[in-house]
Structure 1
Amino acid sequence: MLSVKHTVVVEQVPYPWLVDAVTVIRTLVEESRVDEQGLVLSDGQVVPDIRLTQGRHLRPGSVYVIEDEADDKKVTAGAEGTRKDKAADPSGTARITVREWDHRRAARLELTVAEDDMATELDVTLKSPDRPALVEIAGRTRGDAASLKLFEMAGRARVRLDDWWRAADSDRIPSSAPASARLDHRWVRADVRAVPRPSQHDGRWDLQITVSLRGRRLLRPLAAVVLTIVARRIRRAVVRAVDDLAAQWNDRVPRLVAMNADQLREALLGAR
């Protein structure tokens, strides 16, 4: 097994701001409606690329298709005799299924994205949206062609939000990482753990990231040899990737957390 540990300093996100942000997003979605134009927001703006194809808006079992604008152009540009009937083909670039929508208990969505003979499936759950406590994501990729089977993977991630802020705001060391993820390829398994701690830099977190790699199944002995040979390169790549993500976080987060709920709502409405 190869393990890489690296600590970065990142801008913090106040928990009350997270609660407000989730409430703003949830309210915008719940205030919307769906008609023949697409998804209509509370201010009357229309998001035309989203269609409700099954069930009632935001009810468990409802299905939405997000269509590719490029595909729409191909539909209208084709000859009349060979034009693809979009209404008869409900497939799109993404398909969203609502499994649960209760702001007191949980919001759970399934997302399927198909592109270039590869399909990505995600199952995302937010427990107690009114006071976010847990985020869980499970997913997998599938290849339609035999040549793409090599790239199939499955993974899951879990963030215990209460434990995250408890660790980030105190010197108490958590018994387990409040954020963790696992990615399984048929040959290799990667485990990622993240633990925040108060930083000596005011208003920031020290974020310790641990990435562990190991072989799977019959290839474990071979993978151990390969990982030993390329260990230095892998460590450099992991450190560089974590540093790049931290830099992007530190560039974007301060501008977001500076917004109050009304400003965030206006920014979201103005994004279209």
Structure 2
Amino acid sequence: MVSVRHKVVVEPVPYPWLVDALAVIRTLLEESQADEQGLVLPDGQVIPDIRLTQGRHLRPGSVYLTEIDVEAEDDEDDEDDHGDGNAKADANADGSGTSEEAEASETVQITVREWDHRRAVRLELAVVADDMNVELDAALKSPDRPSLVEISGRMRGDAAPRTLFDMAGRARVRLDDWWPAADTGRTPLSAPAAARLDHRWIRADVRAEPRPSPSRADGRWEIHVTVSLRGRRLLRPVAAVVLTVAARRIRRSVVQAVDNLAAQWNDRVPHLVAMNTDELRETLLSRP
């Protein structure tokens, strides 16, 4: 088993702001209309890429469909680019070559299973790409006073060998434990945020525990992250050897990934939490 522990300091999100932001998003969606032509926002803007294909808007059983175009570029070594760049240009010019850029599409189906701002909002997402299928079940308990987020899902690859891409996972964030721990330092019995990813050969467990930053004056959060990797089933001895050999590289990759996430969070969150509800609504309406 390989275990990595790392600590980052991030900008805080006030709990009252989260409550207000969720209310703005919910109200915006509930004031919108949807049909097979698209989603009509309260200000009259139409988003044709999101279509209601079954049921009534935001009622349990309603199904929405959207397609996302994804540009894929072929990666070439610099040496190849300089060596045969002219040949590629000539081939593309006379139509005998292939473009370096290709477009792929992803189809996303969203099914509303529950929509009750007092009890829970639960959505199912199915993403179908050219070589990958992803299924997710996401639930937010008590949206008016958010207390729990639960996400579970499975990813299946269409390309061979499929066993490299097939995996399942689940995540759980106890919001009613997160803020007391982050703001006051009260330690819960277990990590408020936890996730598990199961591959046929490897299991990964992630835990995150917030605490006030040492200074406390700036209000920032100190997040302690633990990532554990271990082998599974009959391949556990083989996986143990591989993990031991690659332990240093794994630790370096995990630390870098956590640091990058923290940097992105610190870059974007302060701007968001500085918005009041009117500014947030206006921002959402300006980005259809």
How does the TM-score come out when normalised to structure 2?
0.85
Deviation at 1:170, TM superposition (A): 1.4
**Residue aligned with 1:239, SS:** helix
Structure 1 counterpart of 2:145, from 108, 131, 143:
131
Q: Deviation per CA, 1:188-233, whole angstroms, max 9, x where unpaired? A: 0000000000002412000000000000001111111111111111
**Residue aligned with 2:178, SS:** helix
Q: Which residue of 2 aligns with 1:181?
A: 195
**Residue aligned with 1:93, SS:** strand
Deviation at 1:150, TM superposition (A): 2.1
Q: Which residue of 2 aligns with 1:21?
A: 21
2:243 counterpart of 1:227? yes
Distance 2:163 2:245 in 1: 26
Distance 2:256 2:159 in 1: 33
Deviation at 1:36, TM superposition (A): 4.6
Distance 1:255 1:171 in 2: 25
The RMSD of aligned alpha carbons is 1.5
Deviation at 1:50, TM superposition (A): 1.0
2:43 counterpart of 1:43? yes
Q: Which residue of 2 aligns with 1:88?
A: none
Distance 1:237 1:174 in 2: 28
Distance 1:67 1:234 in 2: 35
1:176 maps to amino acid: S
Deviation at 1:146, TM superposition (A): 4.3
Between the two proteins, what is the percent identity of the paired residues?
76
How does the TM-score come out when normalised to structure 1?
0.89
**Residue aligned with 1:203, SS:** coil
2:121 maps to amino acid: A
1:11-90 to 2 correspondences below 5 Å: 11-68=11-68
1:140-179 to 2 correspondences below 5 Å: 140-179=154-193
- Runs of 4+ aligned structure 1 residues displaced above 3 Å come to none
Q: Which residue of 1 aligns with 2:254?
A: 238
Distance 2:239 2:106 in 1: 39
Distance 2:111 2:232 in 1: 33
Distance 2:139 2:234 in 1: 34
2:275 counterpart of 1:259? yes
Contact 1:49 1:69 in 2 (8 A): no
Distance 2:284 2:112 in 1: 21
Deviation at 1:67, TM superposition (A): 2.6
Contact 1:195 1:208 in 2 (8 A): yes
Distance 1:118 1:164 in 2: 33
